[in-house]
Structure 1
Amino acid sequence: MATESITGAFVDGVVRAWVDGWVVSRGAAPPVREPWGFTVDVGQSAHVSRHVLAAVGDGVEEQTVRKIADGVTATGVWLKVFQDPALVGRWLGDGWWVDPEPGWLMTVPLPAHGGHTGVPDGYRLRRWTRGGVTRLLVTTPDGSFAARGQLAPTGGTAVFDQIETAPGHQRRGLGSLVMRTLAETAAAEGAETGVLAGTPAGRALYESLGWTVTAPMTSAKFTGDGRASSD
Structure 2
Amino acid sequence: MIKCDARSISNRLPGISMTSFHVDSQLVFAWQAAHSIARGSPAPVHDRGGIRVDTRSETETTRWVFPRMCDGLREIAQAITAPRHVLKLCGTDEALRSALPDRWEIQPTNHFMIATAALLDPRPLAHGYRLEVHRAGPVNRASILAPDGGIAAHGTAAQTGDAFIYDRIETSPDHRRKGLGMAVMAALASTKESATTPQLLVATADGRALYETLGWTVLAPMAAAVIPER
* TM score, norm. by length of structure 2: 0.83
Q: Distance in 2 between matches of 1:117 and 1:185?
A: 18
2:110 is equivalent to residue 103 of structure 1: yes
Which residue of 2 is the match for residue 8 of structure 1? 15
Shift of residue 141 of structure 1?
2.0
Structure with greater strand percent: 1
Shift of residue 224 of structure 1?
6.0
Deviations 1:115-163 (CA, angstroms, capped at 9, x unpaired): 5763332311111012421001111122112111100101142011011
Q: Distance in 2 between matches of 1:182 and 1:191?
A: 16
Which residue of 1 is the match for residue 184 of structure 2? 178
Shift of residue 64 of structure 1?
4.1
Amino acid at match of 2:41: A
Which residue of 2 is the match for residue 192 of structure 1? 197
Deviations 1:72-116 (CA, angstroms, capped at 9, x unpaired): 1332011111111133223322221211x31110001475x9857
Shift of residue 178 of structure 1?
1.0
Segments of structure 2 that go 5 or more residues without pairing to the other structure are 1-8, 17-22
Which residue of 2 is the match for residue 119 of structure 1? 125
Which residue of 1 is the match for residue 222 of structure 2? 217
Shift of residue 38 of structure 1?
1.1
Shift of residue 66 of structure 1?
2.2
Q: CA RMSD in A?
A: 2.4
Paired residue secondary structure (1:201): helix
Q: How many residues align?
A: 214
Amino acid at match of 2:15: G
* TM score, norm. by length of structure 1: 0.83
Which residue of 2 is the match for residue 19 of structure 1? 32
Larger CA deviation: 12-21 vs 83-92: 83-92
Shift of residue 189 of structure 1?
5.0
Paired residue secondary structure (2:131): strand
1:35-184 residue pairs with structure 2 within 5 A? 35-55=48-68, 60-61=69-70, 63-99=71-107, 101-109=108-116, 118-184=124-190
Q: Distance in 2 between matches of 1:117 and 1:181?
A: 12
Segments of structure 1 that go 5 or more residues without pairing to the other structure are 226-231
Amino acid at match of 1:66: R
Paired residue secondary structure (1:120): coil
Is the contact between residue 136 and residue 149 of structure 1 (CA under 8 Å) also seen in structure 2?
Answer: yes
Q: Distance in 2 between matches of 1:35 and 1:96?
A: 19
Paired residue secondary structure (1:181): helix
